[in-house]
């Protein structure tokens, strides 16, 4: 039986943070938060309802309309963002301990999250200082320029996989742009979000600029999406929830940016560097417990190397170490929640009826409790299989052979999703031409998911709406007002003269 490491000095309960103060729900409602190793509740969190969202949005609106934040010079906001980044880095070990306890991620993978979160703030601090907007001149007649203004109150709804880092990915550009925010963390993993209030206060963020409302998606999240004073919603999560948000945001015509589900292909051609491709495709689906939107969970392998690839891949998968998330030797920890564990286990049982199970397929020996799943490999998977078509979001991979470039492309695009893709080949022409034909928002050639923050992040088809990253994030959180100045008398038809 697994013994869970419990971090010292856990809070007694998780509360909302509104207008600079920690507060309970107005009706006193709470929900249980469990850890994924013992599946026991370790504390209660305030369960936000529409009334709590109203309070948070009102605070954010006051801070936007009456406070200094939107009117600060970019350099002033940048200095505060830099302080946030510096403070975040000092919380690295504490953050990793809380994140691993709350999510089940291996501690070695949680330890990198603070650095990545800090880099998000530094990046957008640099960007708002360097930002230049368009100016157009019509010689002797007119000058036109763009006046960029923050949009207002932003609702940020974040997922339970790597929650703190993904919160920073939304918070940094929203705050850099001059917006005020209401953050709704994932109900499965609200613990690390409780670090933000102290960090922001120490960095000098004014009260009301940053607010947290915890709670269930269908209550707190839904109220945030429907609120008429929330100008825009940035959401990361599953596609079905994204459809609901899309519909519920329509009456208020608010801006939406949504990064949704994925079923990303990794296409391995016979001329690929096989050692590198195996390293990357094993890491790409089993890191972060397989709970990653960009996981290469469908591996398409050219027939000439298929048998060798499968043999080596299965051997590696069977050697992946599953265990206590706090053990530095662990490579796959516990899935986030028993509900999600049941979903992943259910897909494994479905897969047994659709394809050949080559590795894994159940709970590891010696781990009779907790949300543990052995890294699971299905081979000879037909494209009609549910495990080929549907997002599992766990340490489960489907491997399928192909005989030609056209067949590989057809298989790669034969799903409703289009978030990421990976192409492995030593043929440079094929790498570009094939990669550009894949229906995916992001393609990596001979690499796993290594990101440049300047590039667009987002998907196509059922994988998302809009893009963030670099200037695209600032565009999302800003209104761009066109200003037109005449330089000479303007000829106007004299109606009614």
318 part of the active site: no
Selected catalytic residue, list 97, 99, 259, 439: 259
Same structural domain for residues 288 and 253?
A: no
Beta strands in 345-447 (DSSP E): 356-359, 376-379, 396-402, 420-424, 442-445
The domain that contains 393 carries what CATH number? 3.40.309.10
| pLDDT, greater one: 53 or 5 | 53
Looking at the domain assignment, is residue 54 inside a domain?
Answer: yes
User: With contact defined as beta carbons under 8 Å apart, do 358 and 310 qualify?
Assistant: yes
Asked whether residue 119 carries a pLDDT value surpassing 60, the answer given is: yes
Q: Mind spelling out the 3-state secondary structure of 171-218? A: HHHHHHCCCEEEEECCCCCCCHHHHHHHHHHHHCCCCCCEEECCCCHH
Same structural domain for residues 256 and 317?
A: no
Q: What is the pLDDT of residues 172-219, one digit of tens each?
A: 999 999 999 999 999 999 999 999 999 999 999 999 999 999 999 999
Same structural domain for residues 251 and 269?
A: no
Asked whether residue 69 carries a pLDDT value surpassing 50, the answer given is: yes
Looking at the domain assignment, is residue 278 inside a domain?
Answer: yes
Q: What is the pLDDT of residues 291-308, one digit of tens each?
A: 999 999 999 999 999 999
pLDDT band at 15 (very low <50, low <70, confident <90, very high): very high
The domain that contains 245 carries what CATH number? 3.40.605.10
Same structural domain for residues 304 and 333?
A: yes
Rounded to whole angstroms, the Cα distance separating 327 from 269 reads 36
Looking at the domain assignment, is residue 458 inside a domain?
Answer: no
Say which range, 3-7, 316-320, 374-378, has the weakest mean pLDDT: 3-7
Same structural domain for residues 312 and 395?
A: yes
Looking at the domain assignment, is residue 457 inside a domain?
Answer: no
Looking at the domain assignment, is residue 429 inside a domain?
Answer: yes
Q: What is the pLDDT of residues 304-332, one digit of tens each?
A: 999 999 999 999 999 999 999 999 999 99
Same structural domain for residues 238 and 372?
A: no
Residue 28: partners with Cβ closer than 8 Å, 6 or more residues away: none
Same structural domain for residues 290 and 413?
A: yes
Q: 65 by DSSP, 3-state: which?
A: helix
Find the mean pLDDT for residues 80-104: 97
Asked whether residue 453 carries a pLDDT value surpassing 80, the answer given is: yes
Average pLDDT, the chain: 97
pLDDT band at 249 (very low <50, low <70, confident <90, very high): very high
Looking at the domain assignment, is residue 455 inside a domain?
Answer: no
The pLDDT assigned to 118 comes to 98
Find the mean pLDDT for residues 79-88: 98
Token pair recorded at residue 235: 């959401």
Asked whether residue 1 carries a pLDDT value surpassing 60, the answer given is: no
Same structural domain for residues 199 and 115?
A: yes
The pLDDT assigned to 68 comes to 98
Q: What is the pLDDT of residues 390-432, one digit of tens each?
A: 999 999 999 999 999 999 999 999 999 999 999 999 999 999 9
Indicate the number of domains in the chain.
2
pLDDT band at 157 (very low <50, low <70, confident <90, very high): very high
Looking at the domain assignment, is residue 5 inside a domain?
Answer: no
Same structural domain for residues 156 and 38?
A: yes
Looking at the domain assignment, is residue 7 inside a domain?
Answer: no
Same structural domain for residues 169 and 282?
A: no
Same structural domain for residues 377 and 402?
A: yes
Find the mean pLDDT for residues 230-235: 98
Asked whether residue 6 carries a pLDDT value surpassing 60, the answer given is: yes
Token pair recorded at residue 194: 């409780």
- Domain interval for residue 372: 265-445
Same structural domain for residues 269 and 253?
A: no
Asked whether residue 334 carries a pLDDT value surpassing 80, the answer given is: yes
Rounded to whole angstroms, the Cα distance separating 215 from 187 reads 6
- What angle (nearest 5°) sits at the alpha carbon of residue 214, between those of residues 474 and 110? 70
């Amino acid at each position: 039986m697994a013994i869970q490491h419990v971090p010292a000095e856990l809070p007694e309960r998780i509360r909302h943070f509104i207008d600079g103060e920690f507060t309970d729900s107005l009706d006193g409602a709470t929900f249980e938060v469990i850890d994924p190793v013992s599946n026991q509740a370790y504390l209660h969190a305030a369960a936000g309802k529409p009334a709590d969202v109203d309070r948070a949005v009102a605070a954010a609106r006051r801070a936007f309309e009456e406070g200094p934040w939107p009117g600060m010079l970019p350099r002033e906001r940048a200095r505060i963002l830099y302080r946030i980044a510096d403070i975040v880095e000092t919380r690295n070990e504490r953050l990793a301990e809380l994140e691993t306890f709350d999510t089940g991620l291996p501690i070695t993978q949680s330890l990198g999250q603070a650095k990545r979160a800090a880099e998000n703030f530094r990046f957008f601090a640099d960007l708002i200082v360097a930002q230049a907007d368009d100016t157009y001149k019509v010689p002797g007649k007119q000058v036109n320029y763009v006046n960029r203004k923050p949009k207002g109150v932003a609702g940020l709804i974040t997922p339970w996989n790597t929650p703190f880092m993904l919160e920073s990915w939304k918070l940094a550009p929203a705050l850099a742009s001059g917006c005020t925010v209401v953050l709704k963390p994932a109900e499965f993993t609200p613990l690390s979000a409780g670090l933000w209030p102290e960090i922001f206060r120490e960095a000098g963020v004014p009260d009301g600029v940053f607010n947290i409302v915890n709670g269930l998606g269908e209550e707190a999240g839904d109220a945030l999406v429907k609120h008429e004073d929330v100008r825009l919603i940035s959401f990361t999560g599953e596609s079905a929830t994204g459809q609901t948000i899309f519909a519920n945001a329509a009456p208020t015509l608010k801006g939406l940016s949504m990064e949704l589900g994925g079923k990303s292909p990794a296409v391995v051609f016979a001329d690929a560097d096989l050692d590198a491709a195996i390293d990357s495709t094993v890491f790409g689906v089993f890191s972060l417990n397989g709970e990653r939107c960009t996981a290469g969970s469908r591996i398409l392998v050219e027939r000439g190397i298929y048998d060798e690839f499968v043999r080596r891949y299965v051997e590696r998968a069977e050697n992946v170490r599953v265990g206590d998330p706090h053990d530095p030797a662990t490579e796959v920890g516990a899935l986030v929640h028993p509900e999600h564990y049941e979903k992943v286990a259910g897909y494994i049982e479905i897969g047994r009826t659709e394809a050949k199970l080559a590795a894994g397929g159940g709970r590891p020996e010696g781990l009779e409790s907790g949300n543990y799943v052995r890294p699971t490999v299905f081979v000879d998977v037909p494209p009609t299989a549910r495990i080929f078509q549907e997002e599992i979001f766990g340490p489960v991979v489907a491997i399928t052979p192909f005989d030609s470039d056209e067949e590989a492309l057809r298989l790669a695009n034969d799903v409703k999703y289009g978030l990421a893709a990976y192409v492995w080949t030593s043929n440079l022409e094929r790498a570009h031409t094939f990669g550009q034909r894949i229906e995916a928002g992001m393609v990596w050639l001979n690499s796993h998911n290594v990101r440049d923050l300047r590039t667009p992040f987002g998907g196509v088809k059922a994988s998302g709406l809009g893009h963030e990253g670099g200037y695209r994030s600032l565009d999302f959180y800003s209104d761009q007002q066109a200003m037109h100045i005449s330089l000479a008398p303007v000829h106007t038809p004299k109606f009614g003269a």
